[in-house]
Structure 1
């Protein structure tokens, strides 16, 4: 009976050792599967270990029945109830250390094993999910490879087409090269001819520039001369006195001035009579020339604004159009009719030494602006609407050339009426 108990004790120890080894194998499989990067290899190793463990499990069935007596799965009627409790508790402690789900509330292997199996199944499920993901990724890789192959084929087709086009272009380029070579030779001949023409043109341009510079020099001299000629109507000189009152007859409303025929004075000219004091130059009346002597002229006064203002000896006369020295040129722009038509105006201006030109030139001293036009000045055709003289090209050109502009009202102020033309 004692030998049987000793044999049973030895068998129980070996059964416990086998169980512990089996649990260590399960723990090793669980830990090995925590590495995601080697999941596939770990799975294969785990399956191999599982197969080996299952083989051992079949061999250790008898041993397991004996171990169950210690772990709580035993037949209460059995006479052999001896076991190594210390070793069983040590193995149980190792399980608690390996599996974090086990606690001190699990007193024996019967309560521990379900949790170990559940944890192992969870790892198996996760492995299955990873395998599914691997299959999905493999499918995506195959699709990407197929798409890459299609793109590569399209690329090759494009390359073949471009090579064909390049060959065609090369052939066309060679043909075009011959044509261009011939055209280049012709162009070079033409360039030589054009170079000679350019040289000739440069010589002509140099000569023309020299002539133009000479023309400009002459024009500048002419402008300087005209500047001096028109000095009497510009700036501070425009309103300088042209003469003085030397005698006055209040009863006859007449008087004498100190300029005459030697000053190119003619009958019919009108002057503004202003007070002789430079500090108080104010308008008094108009003085119209009725008789001209060598050094003096008789005038008739009219147009007084203030009947009480007296014209006295020493008062001055002013006419911005009057020039006692040179001949000036004027241009008529616009319509002239009624009191002053163009013909009569030309005659009156001629009397005071002003020549009327037919067109604007660099010798034009001033322009006289008339009324609105009702017919085209070039074709004499009626206009749909009256045209203002300031809209004419001649007027704009005159303004651009800084020619002095004189209105018809200024002419009426300083000249007699049309009735005096024949006097």
Structure 2
């Protein structure tokens, strides 16, 4: 009984051990199976994460491709996906090479090509800038030429207006001369009637006329003596070139100087002179001058038209004027036409202020003949067929034959006082 129990106990123990082993084996198998499942699940999760990361990288890559294609072009414009076509880009590079032959063969992509294109564009911009500068210069020259043309037209219109004014003045003068001549003719006829009446009334008038003629002869003889004396003076002056005055001092900063003639020498403001210097080679005209201020024994002059900047006016240079005379009265005859600002009446007044008396006719006492412009009308105011130059007038020939100096108004103006 005891053995039987022991046998049963051993069997039970074996089953217990077997069950324990089986259980342990099951537990171990379950543990290992659970561990493999966990690993598989972890690997699956890692694979999904890698796939998600790969999708994200692909999306980023696709986005970059899309952005690059958007900048580069060469993609299907109708497609929602911007994917540049490499073949089209290569064709574009080939066309760029055709347009820019200086691009080297080593430049195979747009990154390497762009510097050459940018250089070409910069050079083109420089050429365009140069052309624009040239165009601006030409436009400036054109504007200057137009302005000069406008000034020329304005000057022509002004000259034409001045000529019209001069013509109107001449017509008015002609009308005045005609009226004057008619009046003189009427006066002459009345005078002739009176002379005839006197001649018929008494012989005393004849004797008076004889006495008057004798008196006139005496005056002419006196005038002749004066003329001879003046001619001698002119001859002597022409030989010696005696100066009218000398320079006392010269301003170091302004074109002004003081001379040794003044109001006591009948000098007037506005008179013009030449400033000369005697040299071994002859007389040299250094400048021109005009009187600006007059005192009793000296005057201030303004120097201009300096012939040589390196040969300025200095103390000791002398003044010369063909019409200035500090001593005696002088006489002149006007020949030709005087109009405008220098009409005959104004010129006569200016000459009188300088001690030069205007005569109607040339005599032995005449010091100079002043010539004006061409004559368009005769003494009766009738228009001439051709204008007459003063050199063609009889009085001009008489003056030349008598040795009387002939001074054109254009020269005389340089020595006369300036008009107010």
Report the TM-score when normalising by structure 1.
0.45
Report the TM-score when normalising by structure 2.
0.45
Larger radius of gyration: 1
